[in-house]
Structure 1
């Protein structure tokens, strides 16, 4: 009886082993399976938009922060001076604009005077010509009157040119070029001063914090990273033979290395439609390399997988980069059952390795 029992157990183990072996051999075609999957979370790279000396670091590594919180400050003394300088230049531009307006008013008055002088000179010339025809004045007097008219016309034209010159320099206060330039410089200086306070633009957990007060940091240099733990997905690489099953929306089973014994569910969110060709990265002629292997390595296809239960407490504890195994469901009850059992085996195996 005991021998029969052990015989049945042996047959069961062998049968199960053969069944799973056949399943794994055919998996790429019926239910793609991979151990090359890892979790990713949205990561915000924090870099200052201005350069300066770090004055104070207000967060610690691993701290959870919210959008709007200040992460660290730069010494803003030089930037405050630039703001004061820009304000002074704006005030100077506005004063120059007002002075030019007053100059325009004076030039218009001068133009009126020149117009009256021209009118008076023309009237005097007319009178002298009438007197000359009657023999009551000399030719010299008429010529002097004509000269006075010409001089008055020149003076009027000069006054008109001066008015037009000042009008060309002046526009209304909102569109004057000098004032607008000064305003733009002031806005830029104020913006640089604001950028000395580095503020979180999103919620997240501080990671890779290596800042030290007193250190100089350049504009655009990565200072720290913010990991958004509310948004997680997996990148999984499958053999290309299973491409017909790697379509958007197909459900999958997931077993994380860090969570032994548990199988999670998800679905394919998208598929990468191209991979980088290292032999033709710049669009140049490729250098063809002959493969000497009888069975060459298969091409991989990367897909993005969305977790259906990422609010789980276990998933929340996973770090970005956590490794996982993934099996795509086939749609057949028998195959999906085998796939689920296999994934449970993989998950249980993680207790050992």
Structure 2
């Protein structure tokens, strides 16, 4: 009988221990998200030229720290200077063309006024000649000559009015919208931008990472030549389970162990939750890829989280992409959960030497 009671207590203890461990595991999973699939990311920006030509001058060296907007290198600008000069000439020519068109319009309008006066004068003269001809005071030849003169003046007036219509069709009241001027202005702007882009400026502040980049090298536009690394802005990107989404909030503290410096536990802060992942959308011209899965429990969904960390001497030898493990501390500073999180990250710190 005593053995039965002892066995009951043992089984009861096992059940209670299992339930406690199960509840603690659920609580830990819900409140302190963890992943060993994190990686370090520097702010790295590629440097490229927006024009093609040979490199004429390089103003910086590999490893040098530069400020945003600082000149990095310059390509041969002679051809782009010639293009700019040509485009400027075409632009000025377009302006002169508009000015000449306005002068022609003014001259034609003055001419039309004179032609209208001449038509009116010839009309009155023809009326007199008609009366004189009817009374037999002049011969038919004089009358026909006057009539021909009147008809010719009307014809000249009509031609000048047609000329004015054609000129007005070419002229825009908003001179800036004249097609010829717009084309010339666009060509000039493009040539001006190309000339400015012969000098490439630093897109961000940071350290120049440059290899195999020399003077007199022929480069193509929009081709990456080297990089600028800003190691003052460091983030650790980690994919956490979607089921922990409520526990992942901006500003939440995190503990990080890098494989490269596994003796150190680095503090961090959740900076943002990235709303888009590559597998989370499809383009309009592709079909959605649905993977076959016969498991009764599917793989958990992931959410990308960025954790900001401060630069330090401990991190200076790490490369962008260095692997890390991340665990988030509890949102409400729960002593139990924070204690378990710190315990687990310390275990990871030790076992990083094993695998």
* Contact 2:42–2:231 (8 Å) recurs in 1: yes
* Contact 2:255–2:268 (8 Å) recurs in 1: yes
Offset of residue 52 of structure 1: 1.4
Q: Which moved more, 1:236-245 or 1:54-63?
A: 236-245
Cα distance between partner residues in 2 of 1:274 and 1:188 = 35
- Equivalent residue for 1:221? 223
- Equivalent residue for 2:328? 328
Structure 1's 129 and 30: CA in aligned 2 closer, same or farther, altered over 3 A?
A: closer
Structure 1's 238 and 288: CA in aligned 2 closer, same or farther, altered over 3 A?
A: closer
Cα distance between partner residues in 2 of 1:230 and 1:146 = 94
Deviations 1:218-274 (A, max 9, x none): 221111221222222111133455444334443222223344443232233333456
Structure 1's 110 and 43: CA in aligned 2 closer, same or farther, altered over 3 A?
A: same
TM (normalized to structure 2)?
A: 0.78
Are 2:64 and 1:67 equivalent residues in the alignment? no
Offset of residue 56 of structure 1: 2.4
TM (normalized to structure 1)?
A: 0.79
- Equivalent residue for 1:56? 57
* Contact 2:233–2:311 (8 Å) recurs in 1: no
Offset of residue 29 of structure 1: 4.4
Structure 1's 170 and 140: CA in aligned 2 closer, same or farther, altered over 3 A?
A: same
- Equivalent residue for 2:15? none
Offset of residue 125 of structure 1: 0.8
* Contact 1:261–1:351 (8 Å) recurs in 2: no
- Equivalent residue for 1:104? 105
Structure 2 gaps, min length 5: 1-20
Cα distance between partner residues in 2 of 1:275 and 1:87 = 48
Are 2:287 and 1:284 equivalent residues in the alignment? yes
Offset of residue 155 of structure 1: 0.8
* Contact 2:234–2:311 (8 Å) recurs in 1: no
Structure 1 gaps, min length 5: 1-20
**Aligned to 2:340, what secondary structure does the other structure show?**
helix
Task: Map 1:190-269 onto structure 2 (within 5 A).
Answer: 190-240=192-242, 242-269=244-271
**Aligned to 1:137, what secondary structure does the other structure show?**
coil
- Equivalent residue for 2:307? 305
- Specify which of 259, 270, 273 is matched with residue 271 of structure 1: 273
Deviations 1:23-69 (A, max 9, x none): 99765345332222112122222221111122222222222111121
Deviations 1:59-91 (A, max 9, x none): 222221111211111111111110111122223
Cα distance between partner residues in 2 of 1:158 and 1:31 = 90
Q: Which moved more, 1:201-210 or 1:138-147?
A: 138-147
Are 2:95 and 1:94 equivalent residues in the alignment? yes
Offset of residue 145 of structure 1: 2.4
**Aligned to 2:124, what secondary structure does the other structure show?**
helix
* Contact 1:251–1:265 (8 Å) recurs in 2: yes
Q: CA RMSD in A?
A: 3.4
Structure 1's 37 and 22: CA in aligned 2 closer, same or farther, altered over 3 A?
A: farther
- Equivalent residue for 1:6? none
